[in-house]
Amino acid sequence: MELIHLIYDHPQNPWLGGGAALRAKAIAAFWGQKGDIVHFVSGGFPGQINEDPHIQNHFTSCSKRYLFSRLLFSLKAGSVVKKLKKSRKIDLLVEDISLFNIIFPKLFWKGPTISLVHNYLGVQSFKKLGIFGIIPFLMERHYLKHRKNFIAVSEALKSRILMLNPKANVTVIHNGIDDDAFTHAQNPDADKIGFIGRIEINQKGLDTLIQAFSILKAENFPFKALLIGGGKDEPVLRKMIDKLGLHDSIELTGRLGTERFARLGECRIVCMPSRFEGWGIAAIEAAAEGIPVIASNIEGLSEAVVDGETGILIQASPEKLAESIKNLLADSAKMKQLSANAQKHAAAFRWESIANKQRALYTSLLQV
């Protein structure tokens, strides 16, 4: 099988490097080792390299500015596909839907297509961008109504798609996690409150987390926090931490590769007060190390965290999060139970299993 995967993001993208990119790369690399050919078309960024011999990377024009990089991807991804069509026998086009990269594949591809959906924004578009949220809001509805074949990373996303497009062919294939996550375990001396993921304040609820830490400090509750990840909002987050006088209590690691799993082992619990998530790869990474998660009770994330079994789901607010942190850390029996259940839960989400399910779906699509 030879296919093209369109996705702006890339694991090494300095502005994003999110879960969708990790999934796309992990699956493409797995198939490449088995003999399939995957052309990975991504947005350009400073320092871009083709670091994996099993993936055929094609970057659109590089820019030192994030918004220009996104714009250039929207403008030029189609021409990359056209060039590949002329020189290769492409079986399938896979599109990672992004509401901030408007692409219309029918303009440059007439063959079988499948769309991957990682998030549903809805009214969050307006909460994130104000009046300008009308653009992604309308584009999301257009994309979901007019595509035919979908992969959704959660049952909640499948339901959202079918509400807008009842005739769509939607298959749920959850995200997986890097095998390296299973080679680490929580350090017996772990003492930190953790976060792992992209540093994007609005989506990840990092403002809620920092405010919860401020409450803990005001109550003289002793804590150390470790925030693992990088992203475009990191400078703003650092200013927020300094303003609240929390810089002595919180460490930001910046972007890390697989070494993030060793750092994650320093955490007793992980907090994910996200406002929206398609699934929650970070929750499963924590689970693989036996680390309980306190997470927002929202669509998608509530499937990655089993409430009362692998973690705790809450209606995230600074006050509720601070209270939940204190209560869980004080309950050693509950912590032990959640830890054991979490590791068993994570075992079902290895990339090999996810990749095999996705390839089987592609094969069936090509046989129609």
Distance in angstroms (rounded) separating the CA atoms of residues 135 and 115: 20
| Residue 161 to residues 21, 101, 152, 208, 303, Cα–Cα distance (Å) | 21, 19, 9, 29, 17
Q: How would residue 106 be classed by pLDDT, with cut points 50, 70 and 90? A: confident
- Tokens representing residue 169 in the block: 């062919």
Stretch 321-331: mean pLDDT, rounded? 96
Quote the pLDDT of residue 317.
96
Quote the pLDDT of residue 263.
95
Q: How would residue 310 be classed by pLDDT, with cut points 50, 70 and 90? A: very high
The class of domain 2-176+350-366 in CATH terms is alpha beta
Distance in angstroms (rounded) separating the CA atoms of residues 318 and 130: 23
Mean pLDDT is lowest, of 107-111, 119-123, 234-238, 333-337, for 119-123
Higher pLDDT, 294 or 301: 294
pTM over 0.85: no
Distance in angstroms (rounded) separating the CA atoms of residues 97 and 89: 23
Residue 285, C-beta contacts closer than 8 angstroms, at least 6 positions apart: 177, 178, 181, 196, 261, 264, 346
- What pLDDT, in 10s, does the model give residues 136-155? 888 888 889 989 999 999 89
- What pLDDT, in 10s, does the model give residues 254-284? 988 889 999 999 999 999 999 988 788 899 9
Q: What are the residue ranges spanned by the domains of the chain?
A: 2-176+350-366, 179-348
| Residue 150 to residues 30, 140, 160, Cα–Cα distance (Å) | 21, 14, 12
**179-348 CATH, one of 3.30.70.2500, 1.10.940.10, 3.30.70.141, 3.40.50.2000:** 3.40.50.2000
| pLDDT over 80 (residue 338) | yes
Report the percentage of the chain scoring pLDDT > 70: 99
| pLDDT over 70 (residue 368) | no
Q: How would residue 236 be classed by pLDDT, with cut points 50, 70 and 90? A: very high
| pLDDT over 80 (residue 66) | yes
Stretch 206-232: mean pLDDT, rounded? 96
Task: Identify whether the C-beta of residue 311 lies closer than 8 Å to the C-beta of residue 252.
Answer: no
Q: How would residue 49 be classed by pLDDT, with cut points 50, 70 and 90? A: confident
Stretch 80-107: mean pLDDT, rounded? 90
Higher pLDDT, 131 or 240: 240
